[in-house]
Amino acid sequence: MKLPTTPSLRLEGKRAVVVGGSSGIGLGCAVALAEAGAHVVIMARRSDLIDQMVAAMQLKGLLAEGAVADITDVNNFAALIARLRPFDIFVNSAGLARHTPALDTKPNDFDAVMNVNLRGAYFAAQAAAQAMIDDGRAGSIVTISSQMAIVGGVDRAVYCGSKHAVEGFTKAMAVEFGQHGVRVNTICPTFIRTPMTEQTFSRPDRVRWIEEKIKLGRVGKIEDIMGAVQFLASDAAALVTGTALVVDGGWTAE
C-alpha cells in the first residue's frame, strides 16, 4: 500500500517579493520565507531600513535583496514589479492606520488609509498576478489583512472598512486567477506588537479590551504570523485560495 506524502513547506528555488518587509509583520514574513529557502526581495519606502534588514538576513546566510518602492504610486510600483520578474510568491504587508471615533473621521485620514490599505493593496496584487500569469508561473499572493476584516472595533471604522474590502477583492481575484494556478489569500492577525500598534498598546483601556477578547490570553507576536505565511506560500497550501487564515487567538470565535 502506498502512503500519501505530506506536501513540503520548503521554498528552495522560489523567489519571493515582500512589500513592507523592512519592519514589523512584513519583516517577519520576509525572514520566514527566506528561512524556508526562498530568495526574498524586501520592498519598502526607506532604503536605510531595507539595507539594514537585508544585511542582517544575509549575515544569517539567508538569500535577500532590497528594492525601494511606494505602494501608493501605482504605476511606478507596477513597473518595478515587472522588472523583478520572475517570482513565485508575493506578500503585501504595507498598511496604515489612523484610528478615530467614526464621528470624528476626517476625509484626508479616510483617503490616506484607503490609498494604502485598499487602493495600493488592490493594484499591488494586480501587478503581482499579471507578472505571474505573463511568466506562466503558478504562484501565491498573500495580503496581510486583519481580524478587523471580520469584526468591528472601537475607533476603527475606516480601518475596518479598508480590511473588509481587502477580503472582498481577494475572493474575486482568487476566482479569476485560479485558472492560471495563481492563489490569492489573506492572513488576518489579531493585535501584534509592532511599531504600528504602539499607539494602541500605550493605552491601558485598549490593552484591557484586547486581553479580554483574545481567548488564548496573550497578544500576538510577529513569530505567530511566520508559520502562516510559510504555509500559504508553499505546496502545503496548493488547494487553498480565496480564503483568510485567521491568526487571532480566538478573538473572532464568539
Residues that are catalytic: 159
Amino acid at 14: K
Is residue 147 within 8 Å of 251, Cβ to Cβ?
Answer: yes
DSSP codes of every residue in 173-213: HHHHHGGGTEEEEEEEE--B-SGGGHHHHT-HHHHHHHHHH
Q: Which distant-in-sequence residues (6+ apart) come within 8 Å of 26 by Cβ?
A: 18, 19, 20, 42, 44, 91, 93, 94, 144
Task: Return the DSSP state at 240.
Answer: -
Cell numbers standing for residue 226? 511566520
Is residue 89 within 8 Å of 10, Cβ to Cβ?
Answer: no
Is residue 44 within 8 Å of 70, Cβ to Cβ?
Answer: no
CA 36, CA 60: separation in Å to the nearest integer? 13
Is residue 12 within 8 Å of 35, Cβ to Cβ?
Answer: no
